[in-house]
Structure 1
Amino acid sequence: MAEETQSGNGTAAATPPQIRMQVLAQYVRDLSFENLVVQKGLSGSEVQPDIQVAVSLDARKRSVANQYDVVTKFKVTSRNKVNSETLFLLELEYGGTFHIEGVADDQLHPFLLIECPRMLFPYVRRIISDVTRDGGFPPLNVDQVDFMALYRQELARRAQTQAATPVEKAN
């Protein structure tokens, strides 16, 4: 017979599984910074920066049980508003290795692409700030990323792509 736990009011309640997430490692997988202002010899009065930040995510299961690699990819492009020339280009791939237990299989994909990047983001923000400052620009403090909205946008994009792809009928 299955054992039930009693809550304080005498009704049976099932205990939800305990979610356990541990960051095993964090690392810069790839980093590139190109300072085009120095290469072109522009002066400060000619520069009015317009900064664009693109974010993408990747998650993979490792060969060890309950371990996953999650990589956040940031591409920061600063263009001059005056003439649209690129001022700098920063590309960062920052990863983490996570041990995750207690997450239902149907919730694992969103967990990996929402919760894990949230854990990594403060470190990504600091690296981008340091690199832009060390590259001769004011430190760039990237705005908070809504990883849940990013995940939903990707699901909508995939659904739209699948809807646009014609299905072949078998004869």
Structure 2
Amino acid sequence: MAETENGAAPTEAAPQVKLNVLSQYVRDMSFENILAQKPGTGSVQPDVKVQVALDAKKREQENQYEVMMKLTVKSVAKETEDALFIMELEYAGLFHIEGVSDDQLHPFLLIECPRMLFPFVRRIVSDVTRDGGFPPLNLENIDFVQLYRQELQRRAAAQQAQA
């Protein structure tokens, strides 16, 4: 292998990745304040569970993709497991992507694109929970790399179970 003056191996020029967010929007959202519908409920200790699902699909236009993040947020009382609120949010972004190889496109769509959408999803969840009568819920950061790996493991296990 050839070396450059400083002893490092020469690198081939990688294609320049171009990523543009064309638009982002709430596709669907619901919030149900179950606590307010119950008479005489005092203060409760909430336990919040967040489920995240991701989906990406190619659009008809060249190099354009839609990435959707579906969030389900459930808050229950720690003592009784009674539901306090349920929020479902589908948030999507349209992206123009160039310079990403085919073998790297799937992880790019399900890791990098959701990272760009997440701050907006976090703000929506905070605003809606506050406007719904609860303290604003500030979502913890989501490790999209770990989420992607878990999904790959889940699919591999499902394929082995079918075989």
TM range (shorter): over 0.9
Secondary structure (helix, strand or coil) at the match of 1:140 reads coil
1:26 equivalenced with 2:24 (yes/no)? yes
Partner of residue 85 from structure 1, selected from 82, 87, 90: 82
Partner of residue 130 from structure 2, selected from 133, 136, 149: 133
Q: Which runs of 5+ in 1 are unaligned?
A: 1-6, 167-171
Superposition deviation, residue 14 in structure 1: 2.1
Superposition deviation, residue 12 in structure 1: 5.8
- Where in structure 1 do 4 or more consecutive aligned residues deviate above 3 Å? none
Superposition deviation, residue 42 in structure 1: 4.2
Residue of structure 2 in register with 1:17 after alignment? 15
CA distance in 2, matches of 1:22, 1:150: 23
Sequence identity, in percent? 62
CA distance in 1, matches of 2:137, 2:52: 15
TM-score (norm 2): 0.93
CA RMSD, 1 decimal: 1.6
Secondary structure (helix, strand or coil) at the match of 1:64 reads coil
Residue of structure 2 in register with 1:147 after alignment? 144
Partner of residue 116 from structure 2, selected from 112, 116, 119: 119
Superposition deviation, residue 96 in structure 1: 0.1
For 1:156, the aligned partner's letter is: Q
Superposition deviation, residue 13 in structure 1: 4.3
The alpha-carbon distance between structure 1 residues 16 and 79, as it changes in their structure 2 partners (threshold 3 A), is same
Superposition deviation, residue 8 in structure 1: 7.1
Aligned residues: 159
Q: Spell out, residue by residue over 1:78-127, the C-alpha distance to the aligned partner (whole angstroms, 9 max, x if none).
A: 00112111000000000000000000000000000000000000000000
Residue of structure 2 in register with 1:3 after alignment? none
1:109 equivalenced with 2:106 (yes/no)? yes
CA distance in 1, matches of 2:104, 2:10: 25
Q: Spell out, residue by residue over 1:118-149, the C-alpha distance to the aligned partner (whole angstroms, 9 max, x if none).
A: 00000000000000000000000000000000
Residue of structure 1 in register with 2:41 after alignment? 43
Superposition deviation, residue 32 in structure 1: 0.2
Q: Spell out, residue by residue over 1:46-89, the C-alpha distance to the aligned partner (whole angstroms, 9 max, x if none).
A: x1111000000000000000000000000000001121110000
